[in-house]
Structure 1
Amino acid sequence: MIEKMKFLSITGPKADIDRVVNKYLSKYEIHLENAMAQLSQIRHLSPYIQINPYRELLSRVNEFAGLLHNTEGIPIEETSLEEIQTLVDSLGNKISKINARCEKLTEERAVLSEDLKWITPFLTLPEDIDKLIHYRFVQVRFGRIPVEYYGKFKEYVYDNLDTLFYPCHQDDYVWGLYFVPWTKMEQVDAVFSSMHFERIYLKKDHFYGTPEKIHAELEARLENIDREYAAHQKEMQALLEGDAKSVLSAQAALNALSTNFDVRKVAACVKEHQETFYILCGWISERDCTSFMAEIEHDPNLFCVVEDDQKQISCKPPTKLKNPKIFKPFEMYIKMYGLPDYHEIDPTIFVALTYSFIFGIMFGDVGQGLLLAIGGFLLYKFKKMDLAAIIGTAGIFSTFFGFMFGSIFGFEDIIEPLWLHPTEAMTLVPGLGNMNTVFVAAIVFGMFLILLTMIFHIVNAVKMKNVEGIWFDQNSVCGLVFYGTLTVCALLYLTGKALPATILLAVMFLVPLVIIMLKEPITRLAEKKAPAIEGSKPMFFVQSFFELFEIMLSFLSNTLSFVRIGAFAVSHAAMMGVVLMLAGAESGGNINWLIIVLGNAFVCAMEGLIVGIQVLRLEYYEMFSRFYKGSGKEFRPFLKRVNSKRTSEQA
């Protein structure tokens, strides 16, 4: 169901807007519209421009709240702006000091990590680094050379060069050091450079001892830094957790204040008699409107007008769904397709009943249905997933039809069917011979659903005052008479009453079709518009004939589409028959229960998913396409119910 809406225009002195928002509007859910757009006919209208003073403070509190790990169960309390400012300043100073120490540790860690990166490839070097660097007559160069160039260097250059290269490690490079006399330094350095030798400058004041000793010292220092950094982080976390209640209370209060202040974004200002007034426009539920008007009745600085004339409102009402709790999870399917327009029928209850009923027929099994029901409702209880509630409801109907079909985990000889076995029951159809009873029932059921959706279409058309949609459309009264006649004739033929069926078909078949074909000129005549046919008349009749042919084909295809209901009921029984055959249950021997369990799990998961999708397809394409547009605008309350939220959290 769709809640009834009222359009409000609220005005008062410009300086009084915060009082009105905090005292009155924050208690109600109001979908605010942009007043500048809605009241464009008013002269001297201007936007309400003012910078939000809470934004920076809220940003800092959000930063503190984001550092809290577990906020569940922490109560929210009332707090003042002065208390929030004191809290932010105090926490900010303490956290800034901790962050400064952490930043210094991070810089130190980066330096040590860089040193560790360069010393690691030289771990096999047995000599002290500081001694090598301070040789008197020989220079030492640390570095690396690509593997391919190192091979060429050893083969063609090394033996003829006054140097000694000591390799330490190899990956994509050969890491090592070479020794060169002072007198040959320039020549040798030039040769190594030509071999793409990359020199590494080890800092003299950083490295004392062997590489292995230096590496161990660097790792120990890194561990100390990590421990110290973790201690600072723990200190900051303890600081925040100690004030968690205050931080979250401040966040809630600032969110409310900031949101309430942002009402100015959709407000307009107008100057009258040297005084400036604000104007707010929006939608409120009929129930809340009564309470709101009673509350502001004696406020001298607040004026509110409820607009009942829809012609004076330039925007369409938003849609707020209100359904019984048992049907509420099915709103998910409605929102996937599109919210109903305010003047449309809300199809939630219709979808809940038809989806569950059709799913049950297509997946009729007592055991598997109970598994779906129990699993779905447990998941909904703990995870609050709407889809889980839908699965649970569908499982109940699957269980019901399991009894109707006499099937429990695929076994059809444990309980007697209350109706029939889908794979065995046959019905004699005049002119067509024997057909599966479930197929025949599915088509008849589908025809009645199509007729019902046509009635929904007519109701929607009446609400929107659409003459063509009421009388002359393919889903209107004419379409209902035409398809209803076919349905009644089909039932008469099935029951062996061919003569009255033929007479009824002859009388009621052609007239509705002709009206549907000529719906446009008839509508124009009914609305007293001229000419009745626009453009070329021959082209109109040719186009209308082919459109009528397409409509008749769509009726046929839509009707036959419901055969899938019976097909899946039969296929489910057939698949479980295969599982029983593989398990040896049909041969009378020992039953392999592992195959029974695995087979049931596979069929339940795979076919349950496929059936769920196929039923949704029937809803969207065969039913929604006849009466539902889903072009509604969602009801989005601009303000939060701050008072009620805090009360519930404290409770």
Structure 2
Amino acid sequence: MIVKMKFLSISGPRTDIDRVCDVYLSKYEMQLENAVTELKTTDNLLPFVEVNPYKESLAKAEQFAALLPPSDAVADSMMTQDEMIAMIREINHEYLELQEKKELLKKSRDELKDKLNVMEPFRPLELDLHKALRYRYMKIRFGRIGVDYYRKLEKYLFEDLNAVFLEGIRNENFVYGCYFVSNTEASRVDSVFNSLHFERISISGEYIGTPSLACESLQQDIDSTNEKIDAVDKEIEELMRSHASKLLGAQKRLEELSNNFDVRKMAARLEEGDNKEDYYILCGWMGEADVAAFLKESENDDKVFVVVEEDREKFFGDPPTKLKNPKFFKPFEMFIRMYGLPAHDEMDPTVFVALTYTFIFGAMFGDVGQGLCLFVIGGLVYLMKKANLAGIISIAGIFSAFFGFMFGSVFGFEDVLPAIWLRPVDAMTNLPFIGQLNTVFIVAIAFGMALNILVMLFHVINAIRAHDTENIWFSNNGIAGLVFYGFLVLTVALYMTGHKVPGNIMMVVFLGIPILLFLFKEPLTNLVTRNHKKLEEGKGMFLVQGFFELFETMLSYFSNTLSYVRIGAFAVSHAAIMEVVLMLSGAQDGSPNWIGVIIGNIVVCGLEGLIVGIQVLRLEYYEMFSRFYKGSGREFKPFNNHKKEK
């Protein structure tokens, strides 16, 4: 059902707006509208331009709460506003000091890593770095050279160079190492190496020992720095843990205060009197029951003035839509939201969708075993994850199991249970003019006809609520369409059951008159509503357009009715597919391969269940909703997102 909404205005002294939000609006769901825009008839309205003073403190509280380790800490809500802000400021001071210390350690670690990366390619060299870099009569150059150039160096130049090259690590692109050269030959050798694109790498002389020892020393320093960083992290964690309860309480309270303050974005200021005293005005939508409770609670509060608007012309827009359904039907609201929420003057189709969707799903997917599996698995997922789709699957599984008993099918086996009603594959019925036809096809079409008549009634109800004369009387889904289609269904039913069909006069009255109403619905509507509007196109064009619309209407009746054959078709195909699964598993020979039976059931349950679910949703949207439902409503969104359990 749709919760009936009331539009109300709340006003009072400007300084009292936070108290009103905290004391009253935190208890009730209210969708706020922009007061400056909505209250067009009120003069001297100004917007609030104040900056939210709680945003910064709330951001810090959320940051610190996110750093809390998992614990059973209970939020402490006993602190005052000043105490909360002072506590967060003190924690932030200590936190920033620890963060600064941590950043310095991370910077030092990064520098050590850079040095290690430089030294790592020279690890295999057996030389004392401290001594080698301080030779008096010899130079040493560290660096890397491309593999191709190094091969040329080995082949052609080493014999002519008065230098010694020591190779370090080699990869697919470069050879790392160093070369020794005397001071007198340094210039010539350096020129040769430069011509071969030797890239010199600067090595610090602070290391004592071989490059391997230098790398080990650097790694130890890095590990030591990481331990210090971990120690700082533990200090931060301990800092947050020691204030866990107060932090959680401050976060919750500051969030409330911040949300309450943000109400000013939707509020308006009003200056009245010589003393220029400021007032606030809030306006928006609230459920009828909440309005009554709010008025009763605030009746003795002399700082709060509430006006419930009865004349909808004083404000802009239609009421938002808030759905309220029993928990059993709650998951099916997902399908309604996917299509579009009902407008305030439409009926809520949630219960109708829940009953028809699960019933049709069960008829198309009738199997006791698979239905119970869907019920159990879907129910467990819904209980654990609160996934609406899982809840729908679970309920649909109940109907699948019900029709499984009706069809006598358990995991595809049809010799375990007797069919209470019929076997979809075998049941046949003789019909006049048509001959033999599968019984479930006939029942599916009859069921579709009944549903079409029902949704036409829903259409008339919605049209009456919207005071839409044309759709009440003259549309193909209104009373004229209901008479036409109902009489046609009655005639077909009488003929197929061997009874006498209505006479020609009745045919003309109950079929001919509705056709004329379809054709002339626009001028007839203008006549009834006393709207003397002339036809925009000529009479000839009007008749041509009316003829094609009439043809489309007749075609839609036929295709819409025939579309329900898919219910019987899937019931028969499900039984046939499971028969194939059992045949392939050897069940017909009396010695089934149970692994094959299980895998076959899982595949059929997953794939066919998905297809059936989509096909049923298609029937809901295209064959039923298209006849009575618009889904043009807007969702009710309370400013504080308060979800009240009733």
SS of residue matched to 1:500: coil
> Does the C-alpha gap of structure 1 residues 536 and 503 become closer, same or farther in structure 2, counting only changes over 3 Å?
closer
1:364 alignment counterpart: 366
Question: 1:105 — aligned with what?
Answer: 105
Q: Distance in 2 between matches of 1:437 and 1:334?
A: 32
Residue pair 2:143, 2:200 contacting (<8 A) in 1 also: yes
Q: Establish whether residue 538 from structure 1 lines up as the match of residue 504 from structure 2.
A: no
Matched, 1:613 2:614: yes
1:210 corresponds in structure 2 to 210
Contact 1:522 1:532 in 2 (8 A): no
User: d(CA) in 1 for partners of 2:121 and 2:426?
Assistant: 79
1:79-478 → structure 2 map (5 Å cutoff) = 79-155=79-155, 157-171=157-171, 172-205=173-206, 207-273=207-273, 274-478=276-480
**Residues 515 and 260 of structure 1: is their aligned pair in 2 closer, same or farther, counting only changes over 3 Å?**
same
- Counterpart position of 1:482: 484
Structure 2: how far apart are the matches of 1:602 and 1:581? 15
Whole-angstrom distance in 2 between the partners of 1:51 and 1:404: 67
How many Å apart are 1:168 and its aligned residue?
1.4
Equivalent pair of 2:491/2:501 in contact (CA under 8 Å): no
Q: Secondary structure at the match of 1:595?
A: helix
Q: CA deviation at 1:475?
A: 1.6
Inter-partner Cα distance in structure 2 for 1:239 and 1:613 = 54
Contact 1:341 1:630 in 2 (8 A): yes
Asked if 2 retains the 8 angstrom alpha-carbon contact of 1:268 and 1:278, the reply is: yes
- 8 Å contact 2:321–2:341 — kept in the other structure? yes
* Distance in structure 2 (CA, Å) of the matches to 1:73 and 1:618: 51
User: Partners of 2:155 and 2:484 in 1: how far apart?
Assistant: 97
**TM-score calculated relative to the size of structure 2:** 0.95
Q: Alpha-carbon deviation of 1:163?
A: 3.2
1:335-388, Cα deviation, whole Å (9 max, x unpaired): 122211111111110111011101101110111111111111122222222211
Residue matched to 1:622: 623
Tell me by how many angstroms 1:536 deviates. Answer: 2.7
Cα 1:504–1:393 change in 2 (3 A) is farther
**What does residue 633 of structure 1 align with?**
634
Residue type of the alignment partner of 1:467: T
Say if 1:492 and 1:501, in contact at 8 Å, map to a contact too.
no
Q: 1:276 deviation in Å?
A: 2.4
Q: Which runs of 5+ in 2 are unaligned?
A: none
> Which residue, 558, 565, 568 being the options, matches 1:566?
568
- What is the Cα deviation at residue 501 of structure 1? 7.7
Shift of 1:182: 2.6
Partner Cα separation in structure 2 for residue 153 and residue 541 of structure 1: 97
Distance 1:130 1:120 in 2: 17
Structure 2 equivalent of residue 604 of structure 1: 605
Distance in 2 between residues matched to 1:442 and 1:29, nearest whole Å:
44
Match of residue 39 from structure 2: 39
Deviation at 1:525, TM superposition (A): 2.4
* Counterparts of 1:604 and 1:123, CA distance in 2: 62
Q: How many angstroms does 1:155 deviate by?
A: 4.3
The one-character-per-residue Cα deviations of 1:307-354 (angstroms, maximum 9, x if unpaired) are: 112222212111111101111111111112221111111111011101
Q: Distance in 1 between matches of 2:146 and 2:547?
A: 81
Q: Distance in 1 between matches of 2:622 and 2:17?
A: 49
Distance 1:426 1:72 in 2: 65
TM-score under structure 1 length normalisation: 0.94
Instruction: State the distance in 2 between where 1:223 and 1:505 align.
Output: 95
Residues 273-308 of structure 1 deviation map (CA, whole Å, 9 limit, x = unaligned):
133221110111111111111122222222211111
Could you say if the C-alpha distance between residues 138 and 300 of structure 1 is closer, same or farther in structure 2, counting changes exceeding 3 Å? same
Residue identity opposite 1:462 in structure 2 = I
Q: Paired residue for 1:25? A: 25
Greater Cα shift, 82-91 or 45-54: 82-91
List runs of 5+ in structure 1 lacking aligned partners. Answer: none
Q: In structure 2, do the counterparts of structure 1 residues 94 and 340 end up closer, same or farther at CA, with 3 Å as the change threshold?
A: same
Identity %: 50
Provide the rounded CA distance (Å) in 1 between the counterparts of 2:582 and 2:601. 10
SS in 1 for 2:260: helix
- Name the SS for the 1:24 alignment partner: helix
Shift of 1:640: 5.5
Greater shift in the superposed pair: 151-160 or 468-477: 151-160
| Residues 497/309 of structure 1: CA separation in 2 closer, same or farther (3 Å cut) | same
With over 3 angstroms needed to count, the CA separation of the structure-2 counterparts of 1:153 and 1:347, relative to structure 1, is farther
1:60 to partner: Cα distance = 0.8
Are the aligned partners of 1:32 and 1:283 in contact in 2 as well (CA < 8 Å)? yes
Deviation at 1:607, TM superposition (A): 1.2
RMSD: 2.1
2:530 maps to what in 1?
Answer: 528
| Stretch moving more, 534-543 or 426-435 | 534-543
The answer (yes or no) to whether the contact 1:453–1:623 under 8 Å persists in 2 is: yes
Q: Report the CA distance shift for 1:270/1:86 in structure 2 as closer, same or farther (over 3 A).
A: closer
